[in-house]
Amino acid sequence: MLRGRQEEQTRIDALLAAAREGVSAALVVRGDPGIGKTALLAHASAQARGMRALRSAGIESEAQLPFAGLHMLLRGELGRLDALPAPQRRALSGAFGLDAGGGGDRFMVGAGVLSLLADLAEQAPLLCLIDDAQWLDRASAEALLFAARRIDREGIVLLFGVRDYVGALDSPGIPELRLAGLDAPSAAAVLDDTGVVLPAALRDRLVSETGGNPLALRELPPLLSERTVAASPIPLTSRVLDAFHHQVRALPAPSRSWLLLAAADDTGELAVLAPAATELGLALDDVQPAEARGLVALEAGTVTFRHPLIRASVYHGASLGQRIAAHAALAAAYGARQETDRQAWHLAAAATGPDERVAERLELAAKRAIARHGYAAAAATYERAAQLSQEPAAATRRLVLACEASLHGGEPDRARARAERLSPSVTDPAIQTRLIAVRAGADFVTGALHRAHALLTAGASLIAAGDRSRAFWMLLEAVHASWALPTDERLMARTVDRFEALDLEPADPLAPVAWLVRWATAVPLGRDPAGFPPLAQVLPAALDAAAAVGPRALVRMGTMAFATGRDDESAELATALVADARAGGMIDALPGGLGHLSMVQTQLGRHREALISGTEGLRIAHDTGQPLWVSYAAGALSYLAAAEGDEPAFQRYADQAALTRDAPTGARPGTPLAHAARALLDLGLGRVQDAFDGYHALVKGSYRHQGIAFRIIPDLVEAGVRLGRGHDVTVPLARYTTWAATLRLPWIDALLARCEAMTAPDAEAESHYQRALALHEPESRPLERARTELLYGEWLRRSRRKTDARTHLTSALHAFEELGAVPWAARARAELGAAGAPVVGATRLDTYAGLTPQELQIVQLAAQGMANRDIAARLFLSPRTVAYHLYKAYPKLGVRSRGELAGLEAGRVAAQGGGWAPSG
């Protein structure tokens, strides 16, 4: 019977009840050893009437076996893998060793787990219990947490029991239940339940010293005496472990050896333990005394410990020699079963010194772990192989592989620390460069861009003579780092100039990439591009060169295209990268593509697409632990919210982009866009002085070398003119004029003409406005075109040409309302009233305005004819969740079926003369 846990039980019972109604949830139960986590999970199991329960647990001695915990949870359901979408099926099959390779990336395994659990929940609500999750192998933990963040309407409950210490199952975004010690009455009731009579003073001392820990209150009374309780306190964990070890010591020696075998193995399968026991001269009957005392249970061919601490007590209470013998016996048993990875780890645990034969087996196991996306396990395996290596060169090579596996596995801090420890002892330039790349990569993803830049330039110099291509791409990464930093232009200039030292021939495929970098940085660095090859030739050639390298290089080209104002090309490239990432199951590549795409879409005025791309990119970046892309996507979404005048949403996204706080070790790349968004919000809401100050700070401040500092100059000009401070925008406008003359793009020229109209004498203004409208491209940048029409209409009204003014103001109003740009629509509506037009109420012409971003994305895909299952696979959701969002969206749209939805979309497209294009 559980004492003192009524609130916790009620909370869990509510989750189970909701699951029976089709609502999913995950909960992390945290607390000290023995505090009641396992008991609460057992309560959930007992209360799960009408539900199916799956169980797993982390095993400390098996924490380096990739997907061991996941396999324990799902091993009885592997026959259902064929029902999963192909990329997810391949990923899960690879993770469980059923196929040679899984394809996709490590997060695709989590998507497969979600689909498999959702499929199981179609039959009955599902309860998944994962105890001692702090000891889950990282690959299993990553997959389960990815699924836990995405369950919604399937009828699934995921409960994790986790010890409460720093770094134990980091689970942001998942609700937690922290367990404290029992109150005094409940603790007294637990003591009464033991049936052991203790003096009152001893009872009080026991409750006080255990902090109300229920397991200690149950296990310690039989061992206590006046003498022991009066002794100095022992830490709780040691006290509880000692209580269990006392029960273990009372067993016959063969029983203790049998328990040690079970404690050293994560499967508990008698098919493994029995032959291992035979190796040690033990019989199956030897486990019976432990079973009789309730320490273990034998059911369905497995040995299960009554409590995780019993396992820990058995293992850590044995001598080193006994543990070595147990691991050697298990290695023999797994060798006979040809389970080579488990055999390798048990051989390593049994090794007492360097053993190259075992090291080689571990290295092969690490390679197989990487093929299954078990990078954390691979890193630990390589590291253990290095410890067992007989030659220093082999040990170094394996440690480098461990560093690289940690970085690829999303553990940048660990990768950096390993590489920094190893670097001083390495003299080989090639190995030094690999370690530099690891450290720079770790710094890049954690925002330490100054350090990343220094490492990348040093690494490029180190290998320039022997590997010019790799040196080139390291320099390009360094340029990107310098660009993203809030700094002066000198660092970027020095980095760009380093390309000259590589002495590329004109026919070298890398030469166009170098020229594209020079084009992108010419105006920020004050350089004349007159002698550069034409940008129209350079850009496609650079894209071809990057395509031969891979997606990361293409992302950098997308950034360069954006910096040169080629937004359409940049959007096309990002869309293709997103599509390729989806097709290849590369979930961790999606935030980069979606983050960049959302940023470009905001600038192109594709607000609906930007909302979809940015929201999905932000969610996946959080799920996959990529703060760099969280910042990008949040910056884009803050700009979108600012254009719509949604101040609370702006602030929410700006905080994530780090508008108000920079990362401790460097910059957040979404910060300048969030600053620009703040100024745009102020301008739209009529806070013109605040807008002017914000824009001025961007143009003059530490982000002045970035593209956004050029793009916002027309806004700065508008704010300055409205304040009567046109003289204060002369220098920025001249800078913008140079940028326009360099890049020669119609959209930039249109905004320049608008600036010239605002700053010209009245006699000349109209021709500039008309030229600006002529330069605005149809179906492109509707917000900017509408703002030009608004300014022109305001000028016409002030010139007493009200009829002409109404034409342009009406056009602007319709565009603002279609975009949901509320403050700009209000301004156009007020101007129309001043021009003598009837004042109309606010409307939103967008058919999909009432939908959430998730509903919007699902509705758009459904309108294209995609089935729920296909939409779910594309968005890494379950089909039930997709169906739920469609069910919620249909009434908002006034439709009842997919056919009506498709008709609604077709009618909207026909009415507007354009269509919606999905983000890859």
Please give the structure tokens belonging to residue 296: 């273990």
Which residue type does 358 have? V
pLDDT at position 373 = 86
pLDDT at position 828 = 95
Q: Are strands 25-31 and 296-299 parallel, antiparallel or unpaired?
A: unpaired
pLDDT at position 539 = 96
Query: How far apart (Å, rounded) are the C-alpha atoms in residues 352 and 388?
Result: 9
CB atoms inside a 10 Å sphere around CB 584: 15
Q: Are strands 302-305 and 296-299 parallel, antiparallel or unpaired?
A: antiparallel
Please give the structure tokens belonging to residue 98: 């059923």
Q: Does residue 920 register a pLDDT over 60?
A: no
Query: How far apart (Å, rounded) are the C-alpha atoms in residues 137 and 377?
Result: 7
Contact 152, 852 (CB under 8 A): no
Query: How far apart (Å, rounded) are the C-alpha atoms in residues 538 and 533?
Result: 7
Q: How would residue 233 be classed by pLDDT, with cut points 50, 70 and 90?
A: low
Query: How far apart (Å, rounded) are the C-alpha atoms in residues 445 and 441?
Result: 6
Q: Give me the residues paired with residue 126 across strands.
A: 52, 156
Question: At 294, phi and psi to the nearest 5?
Answer: 75, 15
pLDDT at position 584 = 85
Contact 828, 809 (CB under 8 A): yes
CB atoms inside a 10 Å sphere around CB 97: 17
Q: pLDDT tens-digit profile of 609-629?
A: 999 999 999 999 999 888 888
Q: Between the CA atoms of 348, 352, 354 and 357, what dihedral angle is there, to the nearest 10 degrees?
A: -40
Query: How far apart (Å, rounded) are the C-alpha atoms in residues 154 and 156?
Result: 6
Q: How would residue 100 be classed by pLDDT, with cut points 50, 70 and 90?
A: low
Closest CA to 345 of 318, 381, 376, 375: 381
Please give the structure tokens belonging to residue 859: 């509705």
pLDDT at position 299 = 87
pLDDT at position 663 = 41
Q: pLDDT tens-digit profile of 355-403?
A: 999 999 999 999 999 988 889 899 999 999 999 999 999 999 999 999 9
Contact 57, 187 (CB under 8 A): no
Query: How far apart (Å, rounded) are the C-alpha atoms in residues 599 and 562?
Result: 10
Start-to-end CA span in the chain (Å): 54
Q: Residue 473: enclosing H or E segment and its boundaries?
A: helix 468-484
CB atoms inside a 10 Å sphere around CB 674: 28
Q: What is the mean pLDDT of residues 152-173?
A: 92
Contact 594, 564 (CB under 8 A): no
Q: pLDDT tens-digit profile of 565-579?
A: 999 999 999 999 999
pLDDT at position 449 = 86
Query: How far apart (Å, rounded) are the C-alpha atoms in residues 667 and 481?
Result: 10
Q: What is the mean pLDDT of residues 554-567?
A: 93
Q: Residue 795: enclosing H or E segment and its boundaries?
A: helix 782-798
Q: Is pTM beyond 0.85 here?
A: yes
pLDDT at position 101 = 61
Closest CA to 267 of 76, 59, 45: 59
pLDDT at position 919 = 47
Instruction: Please provide the DSSP assignment of 656-680 as one string.
Output: HHTSS---TTS--TTHHHHHHHHHH
pLDDT at position 139 = 92
Q: Residue 158: enclosing H or E segment and its boundaries?
A: strand 156-163
CB atoms inside a 10 Å sphere around CB 440: 28
CB atoms inside a 10 Å sphere around CB 714: 26
